[in-house]
Amino acid sequence: MNCPVCACETSVVDSRPMPYGIRRRRKCDVCTNKFSTVEMRVGAIPSEEFARLAARFYQEAVALVTKNNEIENSVNKWVTK
Ligand SMILES: [Zn+2]
């Protein structure tokens, strides 16, 4: 896995099991950028479980965007006073 910032090689600094796969913490060998990856076998998640997880992810993403919009609106009101 190459660094998303500079495209150089990365090293795994931590690995943790998670449902259906492994989560790895990686660090760029050049720019020290850190990021996480998830490794799982294709087909590891049963399709009904995948649909359930996708629906939950969508709900959480919508809630996060809504919350960010509320914060942005609050900041805009405060800034424009
Ligand atoms: Zn890098």
Q: Domain residues of the chain, as ranges?
A: 1-42, 45-81
pLDDT of residue 42: 86
Q: Over range 12-40, report the average pLDDT.
A: 95
pLDDT of residue 67: 92
Helix (H) or strand (E) holding 16: strand 10-18
Ligand 1 mean position, distance from CA 25 (Å):
14
At the second CATH level, the architecture of 1-42 is Single Sheet (2.20)
Ligand 1 mean position, distance from CA 1 (Å):
11
pLDDT of residue 79: 85
Identify the band that residue 63 occupies on the pLDDT scale cut at 50, 70 and 90. very high
Q: Over range 10-23, report the average pLDDT.
A: 94
pLDDT of residue 81: 66
Q: Are 1 and 26 in contact (CB under 8 A)?
A: yes
Check whether 36 has a pLDDT greater than 90: yes
Residue whose token pair is 């495209």: 7
